[in-house]
Amino acid sequence: MAAKKGVIAILTGGGDVPGLNPAIRAVTIRALREGYKVIGLRRGWAGIMELTRDKKADNSRHFSYLTREIVDRAGRTGGTFLHSSRTKPSKVSKAHVPEHLKEKYTDDINDLTEEVLKNLEFLGVDYLIPIGGDDTLSYGVRLYTEGVKVVAIPKTMDNDVPGTDYCIGFSTCVTRTIALTNNLRTVAGSHERFLVLEVFGRYAGFTALLPAMAGAANRCVIPESEFDIERLTELLSKDRLKNPSRYSILLVSEGAMFKGGEMVFKDRTTDAYGHAKLGGIGDLVSDEIKNLSPKFNKGKTISTVTQKLGYMVRGGDPDSIDSIVPMAFGNLALDLILRGIYGRLVVLKNGRYDNVPIEIITSTKKLVNVKQFYNTQRYRPNYESFEMKPLFIMTSEL
């Protein structure tokens, strides 16, 4: 299969989300129709980093050629059929250097970008489309500075990639969070308890704030604003008392912090990007509000139901938005390549599709605008000034 216009490589990195396969499908079908050859790089940056530059070698674990039949079959499903990893080739520990490169790279932390560039050349890759969050795409920025023709697609259910109002996976995450919270209402109501749900969100609280704004929870705590546990318990106790079924609900971002405290880590390990693994804040909050509850309930303890939603909000098929947006993002990426424009991030801004310089990924952070959207005294969203706001309310600039 000769490539009339060149070879496009696609990869997915970081955590899986629903919507990745539709994005791969959109890129592939359009690219094949326009006369390109399409390569799927497997396991994120790991696939292209670990590849062996030998035509006789079996590199099937590292890449594959994509056809319409392959992407059509996967395009309606969740996850990523190309698989994923949290590999960052510019920061590879000695233990994770590929076997055939161990003699060359012996430092504790190694930069294998030289190998990645040679491997892309070995495969004949002319254009690269990475799909990922800020960590995955930050390495795409690095490759662009090295001369690779990169067009990036934002993905993360935390919705925290700078420059875009929307990232693939966010809508399904919010949809799942609302549905799972509603499912657990019956448990909390039957036993007249507090319901405490921990959701993803290391630095940004969008995945807790939007479901709360939609009415899934009475209160939410987010990474952008520390919370006072006694005040939070008081509010939840009042919410519970007002509820005829005698329960109240709290959403807790995994990166949320007690006033004067710090993030809660589940162990001492880190991922390949160097991030300590978060987890457990929901349990801590649950224990504390139970212990403090007698103060606001005439001396009687209020028990809790605690659940970490975790992978349940990122599993399964994409919802309608995470089927439509990836299709558009994939075609936007092809539009840019056809026009000879590279070093761009395709985005949704104020309800319209667009593209911005890829450097925005590493030049800023996207966080909840606390002053505008979060009431720090009541630990809940602000319900005001919705006129002319985009679908998901909070834009990349606010």
Which residues are annotated as catalytic? 158
Q: How far apart are CA 135 and CA 193, in angstroms?
A: 39
Strands 248-253 and 219-221, by their bridges, are parallel
Q: How far apart are CA 268 and CA 265, in angstroms?
A: 7
Q: How far apart are CA 262 and CA 270, in angstroms?
A: 17
Q: How far apart are CA 301 and CA 298, in angstroms?
A: 9
Contact between 228 and 290 under an 8 Å Cβ cutoff? The reply is no
Q: How far apart are CA 79 and CA 91, in angstroms?
A: 26
> CB atoms < 10 A from the CB of 137, how many?
28
In the structure encoding, which two tokens stand for residue 273, read together?
A: 């990007």
Helical segments of 20-169, H only: 20-34, 45-50, 68-74, 113-123, 134-145
**What secondary structure letter does DSSP report for 393?**
S
Q: How far apart are CA 273 and CA 89, in angstroms?
A: 10
Contact between 25 and 74 under an 8 Å Cβ cutoff? The reply is yes
Which candidate, 83, 87, 38, places its Cα nearest to that of 64?
Answer: 38
Which candidate, 186, 184, 180, 156, places its Cα nearest to that of 170?
Answer: 156
Three-state SS at 50: helix
